[in-house]
Amino acid sequence: MRIATLILVYSTLILIFSSVVTSSPPMQEDTIPFWNTEWSYRQEIQLPISTNDSHAKYQPIDMQIAFDNPCWTKNENETSIRVCCWDGMRWHELDSQIYDLTETQTNRIEKCNLVFLVPEIADGKEKYYIYYDDTEKTIPNYTDHVAIEDAYYFSTPVSDISAEAKYYGIKEDGCCIYGVGQEGELLDRSFSNIIVKQKKNMEKFDLLNADQIVSFAFSYYYGNNEDDESSSDQSFVHKDVFVDGNLMVEFGIISNQIRKIYERQ
C-alpha cells in the first residue's frame, strides 16, 4: 500500500484580514511632510481593506511590496524598512514585519512581503507609507506579539483515559491561542495535524480550555471495523518553523499513514 504524505503549512496572524480592495481619497503627496529625513525613500501603501469602519482597527495587513529604489535589508530583523501612518496632523510609526525577501545584491532587496496592523486612529482618511533607505539603519525595537514554542502536554481528564502530545504552542501577547499537534495520542487517536483553538485569555494550553478542535488529516476505511482506518496523521515525520516574527509565524508539520501489510484470504 502506498504511503500518503500530508504537508500542512500554517500562517498565524493576530486577526483575519479582508481581501476587499478599496482606494483612499486623492491627496497631494507633496503636502505631507517626511516622517524622518534620515530616510531617503518612501512609497505610499494602498490598503486592501477600507478603514472607515471601526471593525478595521487592529486588522492585520499582509501584502507584497516592490521597491522603486535600493532598499537596505540584511534579513527579516535587520532592515531599513519602516511603516508609518499619517493621520492628517502627525505621523504614527507602526509595528511591522517582513518575510519572503527577494534579494538583488548583498544586503539589498527588490521586494518582500510586509505585515502590519491597522492602527486605532484609523478613520478612512489616514495615509500609509513605507519608508526605506539604501544605507544601514538600526534594528527597530518592536514588541514581539506572537510567539511559537515546542511544548509537551500530558493529562488524564477522565479515569483510565489519558492525553499525551508534543505540539506547537502559539501565543499572542502572553496568552496561548492555539495548540497544533505534532505527535501523540488522544482517545486512541493520533494528535498530529490537529489544531486546538483555546478560549480567550488562557495563559496555558489545556484540552479542557478548548474552544474548537479541528483535524487536517485525510483518512479512509478499508474494512468494517474501527481499526480498519488508514489516515495521514498516524505517523509524525517532520516539522519546521519558516517564519517567526513579531506579528506572524509560519510553520509546517509533515505526517503520513502507517504502512500496513494485508493478507489475501
Residue with cell 472607515: 52
pLDDT at 260: 57
- From residue 246, give the alpha-carbon distance in Å to each of 12, 28, 87, 99, 115: 11, 33, 24, 11, 10
The Cα 9–Cα 219 span in angstroms is 19
Residue 218's pLDDT is what? 82
pLDDT of residue 251: 95
Provide the pLDDT for residue 90.
Answer: 96
Identify the pLDDT of residue 98.
Answer: 97
The per-residue pLDDT for 158 is: 73
Torsion angle (degrees, nearest 10) of CA 57, 209, 144, 12: -70
pTM across the whole model: 0.77
Quick one: pLDDT at residue 189? 76
Report d(CA 212, CA 197) in Å as an integer.
5
In contact, 167 and 191? CB cutoff 8 Å: yes
Given this model, what pLDDT does residue 2 score?
37
> Taking the chain (265 residues) in consecutive chunks of 10 residues, what is each chunk's mean pLDDT?
38 36 46 95 96 93 96 95 97 97 93 96 96 95 94 84 90 95 82 92 92 87 77 87 94 82 46
SS3 261: coil
**What are the residue ranges of helices labelled H in 60-210?**
none
Provide the pLDDT for residue 29. 59
> What pLDDT is stored for residue 5 in this prediction?
36
Tell me the chain's radius of gyration from C-alpha atoms. 23
CB neighbour list of residue 11: distance below 8 Å, 6 or more residues apart: 243, 248, 249, 250
**What would the CATH number be for the domain defined by 32-132?**
2.60.40
Domain boundaries along the sequence of the chain: 5-12+145-256, 32-132
